[in-house]
Amino acid sequence: MVTLHRRLLGFLPRLGLQVTDIGPGTAVVSRRGGRTRVPVTAGADLLVRTGERYAASRLVDGAWLVLRQHSPADSPQASDDWRAVRLGDSGAHLLLDGHAAADERRLQLAMAGQLCEQHVAAMLETYGVNCVFDVGANAGQYARRLRRSGYTGRIVSFEPTTEAFDRLRRAAENDPDWFVHPLALGRADTETEIHTGWNSMNSLLPPSDYGRDRYRRFARTRTERIAVRRLDGLLERALDGIADPRPYLKMDTQGYDLEVFAGAGERARDFVGLQSEVAALRLYEGGPTMGEAIAVYEASGFRITGMYPVTREPGTGRVVEFDCVMMRGEVGAGSGAG
């Protein structure tokens, strides 16, 4: 007996529709182009437009990667060499193709960035952080990553340069708990000049000889007059309305982080954690070494929870800078962190 469902499927092509019968009681109806079922494995088919070619690669039990195949001219990065790398006993796998695995430096830095983002999100939750001070915000990249990783608390961003601050202001305009200020932070309330034209590497410090050798952008510069304020003088206003403030201090100021930290004064003890870009190889003249910076933070009661490479030399593999995440162990004791 022909069911109503079958009769309807037989009638639809008369209306110019394409029908692909998937199974009992299931069909795909489309206006343009035919559809073809491509077997992947037992119990799993791929439905594709007629005439298109796909490659299926088994990753782990029960999981397959399906890629549309392109000609080399269409997609020079296309690869069929996919594999799943088990990440210890975490239950997670890293998906790699041959091109990614071949560029070890780029892959390692991308992985470090992702791991740092994940770690910071975990620390903010573990320590109950409800206000992040984003110092050296540039165009708001860090704050957007915080939101993407699930942080919903207050963000207070500081960016002194006119061009970057304009982008920062636009990024934050639809986020009611993200506040932005056109300021630099430092050891004293003052006005000074900042080197600009270096993209995300603008700094109050001049480049070192090593920095000039490494980055051509340092060869040409212009300056901009900016306002600098101490952090301890801004805390009360920034934390206003938060009943039990638990702030976190992120600094990315191109060699100037210790000056920012000095401006917190005695209020540094109010922060449950911090994140600082520390230099294994100094790009800026007068900036602290990694050991000097970490010693100051540790003297204030912070301890390292994560170190993630930010940049590495292409030829030697040496790390130039790390993102260093530090927390006060005593304030997170009741959170159940592992």
The beta-carbon contacts of 91-97 under 8 Å, at least 24 apart in sequence, are 93/59, 93/60, 95/59, 95/65
Whether the CB-CB separation of 304 and 325 falls below 8 Å is answered with yes
For residues 71 and 182, state if they share a domain.
no
What is the structure's pLDDT at 333?
A: 45
For residues 55 and 181, state if they share a domain.
no
For residues 263 and 315, state if they share a domain.
yes
Domain range enclosing 325: 104-333
What is the structure's pLDDT at 102?
A: 75
Helix 141-148 vs helix 162-172: angle between axes, to the nearest 10 degrees? 20
For residues 68 and 110, state if they share a domain.
no
What is the structure's pLDDT at 76?
A: 46
Position 96 in a domain: no
Q: What's the rounded Cα separation, in Å, for the pair 229 and 84?
A: 49
Position 314 in a domain: yes
pTM: 0.78
Position 118 in a domain: yes
For residues 115 and 236, state if they share a domain.
yes
For residues 228 and 289, state if they share a domain.
yes
CATH code of the domain in which 301 resides: 3.40.50.150
Q: What's the rounded Cα separation, in Å, for the pair 246 and 24?
A: 57
What is the structure's pLDDT at 216?
A: 82
Position 99 in a domain: no
For residues 156 and 240, state if they share a domain.
yes
For residues 159 and 49, state if they share a domain.
no
Strands 222-229 and 190-196, bridge-based pairing = antiparallel
What is the structure's pLDDT at 224?
A: 94
What is the structure's pLDDT at 85?
A: 83
Q: What's the rounded Cα separation, in Å, for the pair 230 and 240?
A: 17
What is the structure's pLDDT at 31?
A: 59
Q: What is the total count of domains within the chain?
A: 2
What is the structure's pLDDT at 199?
A: 75
Position 87 in a domain: no
What is the structure's pLDDT at 193?
A: 95
Strand order in the sheet with 184-185: 184-185, 222-229, 190-196
Q: What's the rounded Cα separation, in Å, for the pair 289 and 333?
A: 31
For residues 22 and 135, state if they share a domain.
no
For residues 320 and 242, state if they share a domain.
yes
Q: What's the rounded Cα separation, in Å, for the pair 287 and 289?
A: 7
For residues 26 and 111, state if they share a domain.
no
Enter the tokens of residue 40. 């992947």
Average pLDDT across each block of 10 residues of the chain; the chain has 338 residues. List them in order: 60 60 59 67 71 70 70 51 82 78 85 95 97 97 96 98 96 97 97 88 88 85 94 98 97 96 97 97 93 98 97 92 93 47
Whether the CB-CB separation of 250 and 133 falls below 8 Å is answered with yes
Position 93 in a domain: no
Distances from the Cα of 250 to the Cαs of 90, 119, 135, in angstroms? 28, 14, 6
Position 55 in a domain: yes
Q: Which of 62, 77, 92 is the last residue of a domain?
A: 77
Q: Which of 77, 94, 122 is the last residue of a domain?
A: 77
For residues 25 and 70, state if they share a domain.
yes
Closest to 197 (Cα-Cα) out of 159, 157, 162, 158: 162
